[in-house]
Amino acid sequence: MGIVNVTPDSFSDGGEFLDPERAVEHGLQLAADGADVLDIGGESTRPGAAEVSAEEELRRVIPVIEGLIAAGCTKAISIDTSKAAVAERALAAGAVIVNDVTALGDAGMAGVCARGSSSLILMHMKGTPRTMQEDPTYDDVVAEVREFLAAALERAVDDGVDEDRIWLDPGIGFGKTVEHNLELIDRLGELRSLGRPIVLGASRKRFIGTLTGREVGDRVGGTLAANVIGVARGAAMLRVHDVREAREALDVAEAILGTREWREPWTAVAS
Ligand code: HH2
């Protein structure tokens, strides 16, 4: 999954792709680099980020979704939003996945996904983007994240979302210390018992900067390590800024480890 942030303030590439034409160009490049999914986001979720109105989010993302489709993009388009109204319009414009970092924080979200027959990514976050990094504590981070995702999954299914279309994400960096992030990636396999494929979003995040001393635009080496280990532990989809590098790392990892389930996440999870 390649990231297209149509925002002025994203932590890693804020402002770079605010212009719809540039965002479309960037998405097409990520597709050419080997992305299967393009994740279009109009609201930053970085710690302390300001909230954006639905109107402003729509103004940012809809031209990009329409532009990608008009340009002949055949990759699955995902809308990174926590607002049901934005998801609904994005699905109407051609998106097929809703990436909800609040895991149904908006009570209308599951209904929109059910009616639109979209896929849905449910992510764990402790608190809100404004507060989440204020001394997050857990007794057992993996157990708590697992419990949260199990409850969100149940709610989504109760609200009519097809279980086969749901993906789960531990929410790396969302209310977690460096140690929490490392433990979640290392023990990612424990989330597989929920029976749904796992999405991992570690790309360029702060814990990688802490470990490597690198600035945000210079974290691809650390990101690749997190991603390869994540896949080896059971991640079925990686949300990344640097698609070409991620794809190459997976190709080599796959050559070493043999046929891997990330190629067929649905069947692997069902078996
Ligand atoms: N991380 C970010 C945003 N959306 N979605 C999922 N499913 N998983 C993640 O880990 C995730 C996500 C944050 O990264 P980014 O989009 O690069 O930055 P920002 O939120 O500042 O736009």
Q: Is the pLDDT of residue 266 over 80?
A: no
pLDDT for the residue numbered 73: 97
Q: Is the CB of 5 under 6 A from ligand 1?
A: yes
Mean pLDDT of all residues in 177-206: 97
pLDDT for the residue numbered 132: 81
Alpha helix positions (H), 71-177: 84-93, 109-116, 141-158
Percent of the chain at pLDDT exceeding 70: 95
Confidence of residue 260 (pLDDT cuts 50, 70, 90): low
Residue 102's nearest CA partner among 127, 76, 137, 136 is: 127
Which residue of 60, 80, 220, 242 sits with most ligand 1 atoms within 8 Å of its CB, as the best mutation to test the pocket? 80
pLDDT for the residue numbered 178: 97
Q: Please report which helix (H) or strand (E) contains residue 77, including its range.
A: strand 76-80
Number of domains in the chain: 1
* Residue positions annotated with a catalytic role: 205, 239
Query: Between 17 and 105, whose confidence is greater?
Result: 105
What spacing in Å lies between the alpha carbon of 201 and ligand 1's midpoint?
A: 7
Q: Is the pLDDT of residue 168 over 70?
A: yes
Mean pLDDT of all residues in 7-19: 85
pLDDT for the residue numbered 270: 34
Per-residue model confidence as pLDDT tens digits over 58-107? 999 999 999 999 999 999 999 999 999 999 999 999 999 999 999 999 99
Q: Is the CB of 265 under 6 A from ligand 1?
A: no
Q: Helix, strand, or coil here: 79?
A: strand
Confidence of residue 259 (pLDDT cuts 50, 70, 90): low
The atom of ligand 1 lying closest to the CA of 121 is 7
pLDDT for the residue numbered 268: 37
Q: Is the pLDDT of residue 262 over 50?
A: no
Cβ distance 183 to 229 under 8 Å? no
| Mean predicted lDDT score pLDDT of the chain | 92
What spacing in Å lies between the alpha carbon of 199 and ligand 1's midpoint?
A: 11
CATH number at residue 70: 3.20.20.20
Mean pLDDT of all residues in 153-173: 98
pLDDT for the residue numbered 28: 98
Cβ distance 85 to 66 under 8 Å? no
Mean pLDDT of all residues in 21-28: 97
Structural domain containing residue 178: 2-270
Q: 212-249 burial by CB neighbour count: b if 16+ within 10 A, else e? A: eebebeebbebbbebbbbbbbbbbbbbbbbbbbbbbeb
Percent of the chain at pLDDT exceeding 90: 82
What is the per-residue DSSP string for 174-237?
SS--HHHHHHHHHTGGGGGGGSS-EEE--TT-HHHHHHH---GGG-HHHHHHHHHHHHHTTEEE
